[in-house]
A = this chain, B = another copy of it.
């Protein structure tokens, strides 16, 4: 049975402060919960309806998660989204473990992307393009924010990431840094590229002046109309698409 204390605990995980204190976060909705049960995360607690448990009994057993049965109504009031009517998992965070730049391919860097919906969408895009590694400035939205998890549509289970001062890491990596600007080289006119960081800036201010200094190539998505800008998740998708195309050509 779902106790008051468990409800209180899960609700506290809506806040970053408590997530960091407990080193836990939650995942909700059938698709995302199944993804996290199938991934290499440690699921501590699973709150689910009987029908979810029946359908996925083997997977749940294998996870060793504590199981609490709940009704649809209870689930809907626990999480972020009213439409969650099947399961919610409390999961252990992974630690903030820096990685080296991979042998080839791309890493996505985010300089203060603040909106959780944008971050989640960018994680999904990274996963679509097979870009497994992301690096975030300290002020970027929290990876474990429920809105990020939700918007990533399960892709949060398939990427590596860490938070760090980006300029320091980029100095160590010593690879091309492709920064998205409005006055860079037209990405449609670029030739073969195989390796580097695709760096995106803050929703309002773009890439900070500190980071601009470590950008080795300014790149721009060509505009043909009158819109002043594109949303940062949209721009990330277009750059990833071009870079993947250029890395194969």
Contact = CB atoms under 8 A, between A and B. Distances in A.
Contacts of A233: 234
A124 to B, nearest CB: 5
| Size class of the A contact interface (CB-based, 8 Å) | 35 or more
Given A127-B227, A224-B244, A234 B158 contact: no
A155 B227 contact: yes
A226 B131 CA distance: 10
B129 A225 contact: yes
A214 B174 CA distance: 51
A184 interface: no
A223 interface: yes
B222 A153 contact: no
Nearest to A159: B225
A121 B231 contact: yes
B124 A248 contact: no
Contacts of A244: 188, 222, 224
